[in-house]
Amino acid sequence: MNQTSILFPHLNLTLSHVGKSLSVGGFEVAYYGIVIALGMALGISLIFYLARKSGQSEDLYVDLTLVTIVCSIIGARGYYVLFSWEDYKDHLLEIFHIRGGGLAIYGGVLAGILTIFLFSRRKKQSVWLLMDTVCPGLVVGQIIGRWGNFFNREAFGGYSDGLLAMALPRDAVRQGEITAQMLQHLKVIDGVEFIQVHPTFLYESLWNLLLLFCLLMLWKHRKYDGQIAACYLVGYGLGRIWIESLRTDQLLLPVIRIPVSQVVSGILILCSVIYMIKKHRQQSKTATPTQGKKGKGYK
């Protein structure tokens, strides 16, 4: 065993050499960045596919994804820095160093929603139709992107001895994220100290995989623009509230010290449920389901 080992003891799985980067022409490329880029590429591919299936312009989504990716990355970093300001206030240049991690998904989601709204106004498109088409691709990016946390040894939960428990070298993680309970169950293997934790990155990846399956099934039976987006926000929010409660690296609201992600999840779930109830009531008052025109809504 060494400082690059990652174990899943109850699965009898030992990964002896999990690096954080690879060298390309003498330049270190972080696996975190590679994983994020892969998630984006596959997510965009799904967005283009859904756009074609629903009779929309693929070129429209080329423009949308390019601007949304840039804005979402800025939003994800800004959100993380805002709620981790104590770590950056004396080292401002570190704000621009994202190769080692430090992107908050909800910051990216909120920035993406704002970007799509402004884009829809400019292009005179339905914001809800754009959101519906983008959300499944976003989930794909989240499923894959969470594995960047695996390579960085971050975004894990407290001590666990469950089936999926993950063991990490104590010296390979940020010391502020190690709890007293982890230290009480510290294990020494071949002279290396290991902490055993909830692999919350894995929980979220699996949760999002289930969510993606549900959204794609719903896609075939959707009844109104915004239904996919609302279900995504509810589904992801419910999972995030649970998973966030396990993590030891929570971003907290000042003074009240409540995890920001749980608050944001709750607000988005509430807004989405209200929207779905409103649309359901509107549909119940009409004799036939609402139908969109090709390129402007769903068939």
Report the alpha-carbon angle 261-267-268, nearest 5. Answer: 85
277 vs 34: CA distance, rounded Å: 40
Quick check: helix, strand or coil at residue 7? strand
77 is in an annotated binding site: no
C-alpha to C-alpha distances, 159 to 1, 7, 98, 182, 183, nearest whole angstrom? 20, 14, 27, 5, 9
Going across the sheet that includes 166-169, the strands are 13-15, 6-8, 166-169, 192-197, 187-189
Cβ contacts of 260 within 8 Å, gap of 6 or more: 83, 106, 250, 251, 252, 253
Cβ neighbours of 95 (radius 10 Å): 17
Burial of 286 (0-12, 13-18, 19+ CB in 10 A): exposed
- The 3-state DSSP class for residue 220 equals coil
Q: How far apart are CA 212 and CA 251, in angstroms?
A: 26
Q: Which of 32, 191, 60, 41 is nearest to 133 (CA)?
A: 60
Which residues, including other chains, have CB under 8 Å from residue 131's CB and lie 6 or more apart? 113, 116, 226, 228, 229
Q: Which helix (H) or strand (E) holds 189?
A: strand 187-189
Which DSSP letter does residue 158 get?
Answer: S
Residues at the binding site are 146
